[in-house]
Chains A and B, each alone.
Chain A
C-alpha cells in the first residue's frame, strides 16, 4: 500500500470520527425514511414484509446520497485537494483512499443498522442475512459511482441536487439486483445470479470509478 493511500485513509477516518455528528445525521435519515413507509402504506404485516427489502434499499441509497457531497467539498474549499493533486503519487491512489474512507464511515454503518430496520418490517432472520449481505456488496458500488458525481459537481452551485440527478439513474441497477436478491432468495430461485451480478458490478466499479473520479477532479480543479 502506498504512503499517500494510508495517509489519506487514516486522516479521513479520523475526520469522520471527529465530525461524527454529521455521520449520525445520515444514519438517522436512513432510519427515519425507512420508518415512514408503514405510516403511508398501512400496517398489514404481509405487505410490509413484501416491500421491506425495497424500502431499506431505497433509504440506504438516499442516505448515501446525502453524505456524498462531503466526500471532496471540504478538501476542495481548504485547498487540500490542490496539494493532493500535486502529490508524487497518481491521483487515483488517494481518490481510492477517499472513497474507501467514505464507504467505511457512511456505507458500513448503514449495513450494520439495516438488520434492525428489516426486523421492523418483519423479515425472517435468514432474509435479513441476505439483505445485509446484498447491502454489503451494494453500498460500496453506491460510494464508487457517487464519487464520480461528487467530483464532477465539485464547487458548483446547487451541487447536492445536481449530484442526485447525475448519479441516481446510475444506481438503479444496484437497487434492482440488491432489493431483488431477497425476493429471489425467498421465492426459491436462489441468490447466486443476483450476488454474482452485484459482485461483478462491484469489481467493475472498483476498477473504473477511481480513475473516472480522478479525471473528473482534474477537470474541476483546472
Chain B
C-alpha cells in the first residue's frame, strides 16, 4: 500500500493502470484501485503486483546460484536484472517464464502460481531468450509469422512484413535467415516485440546484444513505450540504455549462494 499526493499526480503505475486493465481479460482480478480517504486530500493507491516471486532458489548441478530471491512487479514497471556473468540471470528468467521449475519458492502471476495459471500466464507473456528461435532455412518473414502463430497470436503476413520493414529488414524479407547477420537476427526478435504489445509481460534475455546504436535506441524506445502503456518488462543487459523512465534493478549477485560447493 502506498500513499500519494493527488497534486503531484499518480505515478506511472496508476496512470498506466486503465490501459493495462483494458488490455487484460475482463475476468482477471482488478489489480489497482484508487479511492479518496475521508477528510484528507490524499488518495490511497493499492497495488496488487502482477508478478510475484517468493523465496526463489536455483541450483545448477551442486552449485547454488541464488536463494531467497524475492521480487514483485507491478504494471508499468521496468526491471533490469543485473549481475556478473554466470550469476544466474538467465536461469532466473527461465524460472520466471516457467521453462524451469524452481528448487524452492514459487512464481505467481495474478496471485496464482504460474503452474496453476499456465494458459493465461503464457497468453500474457513474451519471452525472448538467448537463442534467436529462428530457423536458418526459413525467411525472416516465415520465421516471424510462425513465431506469432505458434504462440497463439492471430497476426497476418502483412502485419509481419510491416513490422520487419519498420525495423529495417524490408530488403531481407525473402532471404533465408542463414544469410542474416547476428544483429539482423536480433532485429527479427525486435519485430516480434512490435507484434506482441497486447502481451503484458515481456521477459527479454540480453535484448541489446549485437544491435547497432540505432537499433538499440529503437529497442529502448519500444520497451519504454510498452511499460508506459501499462506493460511490464524484465530484461537483462550489460549495456546502459536511455529509456526515458525509471528502471528498477535487481542484482542477482546479492542473493548469491552462501553454500556453493
Contact = CB atoms under 8 A, between A and B. Distances in A.
Contacts of B97: 86
B151 interface: yes
A161 interface: no
B175 interface: no
Contacts of B71: none
Given A19-B137, A221-B99, A83 B127 contact: yes
B149 A3 contact: yes
B123 A88 contact: yes
A174 B224 CA distance: 57
Nearest to B147: A83
A79 B137 contact: no
B154 A80 contact: no
A11 B138 contact: yes
A7 interface: yes
A88 B130 CA distance: 21
Interface in B134-153: 134-138, 142, 146-147, 149-152
A18 interface: yes
B65 to A, nearest CB: 15
A34 B192 CA distance: 47
Most buried by A among B98, B101, B129, B152: B152
A86 B130 CA distance: 15
Nearest to A17: B137
B101 A79 contact: no
Given A82-B99, A82-B127, A86-B99, A11 B137 contact: no
A46 interface: no
**Main SS class of interface, B:** loop
Interface residues on B, range: 20 to 34
A84 B127 CA distance: 11
Nearest to A83: B133
A172 interface: no
B99 A79 contact: no
Most buried by B among A6, A77, A89: A89
A23 to B, nearest CB: 13
A87 interface: yes
B125 interface: yes
Most buried by A among B125, B133, B142: B133
Contact of B149 (A7, A19, A78, A221): A7
B157 interface: no
Interface of A: 3-4, 6-8, 11, 14-15, 18-19, 74-75, 77-80, 82-89, 94, 221-222
